[in-house]
């Protein structure tokens, strides 16, 4: 809450106060190049800025934080959750994640009820060698308590230059909290995981994120899998938050015939553009299941919508997240980013995805008990589905 204290003062004092404010009020920057529709509002912004500079009781003020907050507030007023300002620190994390390499300890994490929780350590990384386990809770990073901290800020604290050390205070189940000291290293995270499911002729392909090297990794993985002549293929896009639109087209092209529509993009003027599958897909005929869940978003939903509309795969799982918009990412001068929604995308049949998601053909949920017992009903259903003979390619 903002508490305003109104004080009755003499007219002379009020005049003096007004004069001092006028004298010390910060001059607005040159407006050369400012759009005409901005100029009527510019004095209001600098008037508010001046009052904060003059009156706020904590000093010194963090000018950079104020600028960042101003930009963030501006884009937040648009009412679009995906048009956003991302400060330089968070932008750096996002950029390195999509390039598949960063310096840190090597663990997938998420914030659960305000507690940073290990989802899984990446095999062979410092986190794995230090013995961190799924569901471990990180309470503190060096001397900083991170409970209820923004997840990006917590990740920034854990990451750091190769060869440096970080101390983590870890809570595991009902044990007493303990300290783990880990030496950071360069972490390379493959976007693609591939294998033949043991005891079957079914291939399994997981895409963790639609990052920069994902198309090359997928082509290599499919080449190896298809050489083993699988009778079925499972593509797992669960918990895949998306990534680059161009990568979504590349991925879909591996399973669709060249020229088939992957998505339809509509801009603010209602102008539509079709993105079509490229030739040369390596898995355009094998019987296929696509696994999706509430964490399958954005580029994952592009692929899911395309494979469903073309009856190329049977979707198993639960409804996807529902993020059907496209953003332009503008790198600002301090390496922060402004992400601006420029269009919405639709499935090849014109079905909306934003705020709607993609509904699976067969709904299967993994319960909390399943997760605790390390059962995967969705994957089991996919395997059973592909083991059952089918006349149609669904």
**181 and 249 within one domain:** no
**pLDDT digits 0-9 by tens, 188-208:** 878 999 999 999 999 999 998
Looking at residue 4, what is its pLDDT? Answer: 28
Average pLDDT estimate for 20-47? 62
Clarify whether residues 284 and 156 are in a common domain: no
Residue 33 has pLDDT above 70, yes or no: no
Q: Is 232 in the same domain as 172? A: no
Pairwise CA distance, residues 19 & 378, whole Å:
71
Q: Is residue 90 part of a domain?
A: no
Q: Is 270 among the domain residues?
A: yes
CATH of residue 167's domain is: 2.30.42.10
Q: Are residues 108 and 209 in the same domain?
A: no
Average pLDDT over residues 97-122: 83
Alpha-carbon gap, residue 261 to 275, rounded angstroms = 6
pLDDT in tens, 240-253: 888 899 999 999 99
pLDDT on residue 32:
52
Q: Which residues of 96-131 are buried (b: 16+ CB within 10 A; e: fewer)?
A: bbbebebbbbbbebebeeeebbbeebbeebbbbebe
Give a yes or no: residue 298 inside a domain. yes
Given a cut of 70, whether residue 333 has pLDDT beyond it is yes
Catalytic position from the list 298, 300, 336, 347: 298
323, 325, 336, 347: the catalytic one is 323
Domain that holds residue 151: 101-188
Band (10; pLDDT cuts 50, 70, 90): very low
Rounded to an integer, the average pLDDT of 288-295 is 95
Q: Is the pLDDT of residue 165 over 80?
A: yes
142 and 113 in a common domain: yes
Beta bridge mates, 107: 121
CATH of the domain at 223: 3.90.226.10
Let me know if residue 215 belongs to a domain.
yes
Query: For residue 225, is it within any domain?
Result: yes
Residue 22 lies in a domain: no
Beta bridge partners of 187: 102
Q: Is residue 175 part of a domain?
A: yes
| Shared domain check, 219 and 162 | no
Given 309, 325, 336, 347, the catalytic residue: 309
Same domain, yes or no, for 276 and 358?
Answer: yes
Residue 323 among the catalytic residues: yes
Residue 58 confidence (pLDDT) above 60: yes
Let me know whether 337 and 301 are in one domain.
Answer: yes
Output the DSSP codes for 156-178. HHH---TT-EEEEEEE-TTSPPE
In the residue annotation, 298 being an active-site residue is answered as: yes
Same domain for 368 and 229: yes
From 188, 220, 247, the end of a domain falls on 188
Given this model, what pLDDT does residue 31 score?
Answer: 52
Active site residue 174: no
Is 348 found in the same domain as 307? yes
Judge whether 171 lies within some domain.
yes
């Amino acid at each position: 809450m903002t508490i305003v204290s109104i004080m009755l003062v003499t007219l002379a004092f009020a005049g003096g106060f007004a004069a001092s404010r006028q004298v010390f009020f910060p001059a607005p920057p040159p407006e050369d190049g400012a759009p005409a529709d901005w100029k009527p509002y510019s004095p209001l912004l600098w008037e508010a800025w001046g009052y904060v500079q003059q009156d706020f009781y904590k000093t010194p003020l963090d000018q950079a934080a104020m600028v960042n907050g101003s930009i963030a507030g501006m884009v937040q007023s648009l009412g679009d959750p995906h048009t956003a300002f991302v400060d330089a620190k968070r932008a750096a994390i996002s950029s390195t994640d999509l390039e598949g390499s960063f310096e840190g300890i090597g663990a997938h994490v998420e914030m659960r009820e305000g507690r940073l929780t290990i989802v899984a350590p990446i095999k062979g990384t410092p986190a794995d060698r230090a013995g961190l386990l799924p569901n471990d809770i990180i309470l503190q990073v060096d001397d900083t308590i991170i409970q209820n901290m923004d997840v990006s800020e917590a990740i920034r604290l854990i990451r750091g230059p190769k060869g440096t050390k970080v101390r983590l205070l870890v809570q595991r189940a009902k044990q007493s909290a303990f300290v783990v000291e880990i030496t950071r290293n360069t972490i390379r995270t493959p976007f693609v995981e591939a294998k033949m499911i043991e005891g079957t002729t079914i291939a399994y392909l997981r895409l963790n994120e639609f990052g920069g090297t994902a198309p090359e990794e997928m082509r290599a993985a499919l080449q190896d899998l298809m050489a083993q002549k699988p009778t079925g293929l499972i593509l797992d896009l669960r918990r895949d938050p998306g990534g680059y639109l161009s990568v979504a087209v590349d991925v879909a092209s591996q399973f669709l015939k060249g020229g088939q529509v992957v998505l339809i993009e509509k801009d603010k003027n209602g102008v539509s553009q079709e993105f079509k599958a490229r030739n040369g897909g390596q898995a355009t005929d094998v019987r296929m299941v696509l696994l999706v869940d509430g964490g399958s978003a954005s580029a994952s939903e592009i692929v899911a919508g395309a494979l469903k509309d073309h009856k190329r795969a049977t979707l198993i799982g639960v409804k996807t997240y529902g993020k059907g918009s496209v953003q332009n990412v503008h790198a600002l001068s301090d390496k922060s980013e402004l992400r601006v929604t420029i269009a919405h995308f639709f499935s090849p049949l014109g079905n909306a995805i934003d705020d709607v998601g993609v509904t699976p053909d067969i709904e299967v949920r993994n319960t909390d008990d399943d997760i605790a017992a390390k059962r995967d009903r969705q994957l089991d259903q996919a395997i059973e589905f592909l083991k059952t003979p089918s006349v149609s390619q669904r």
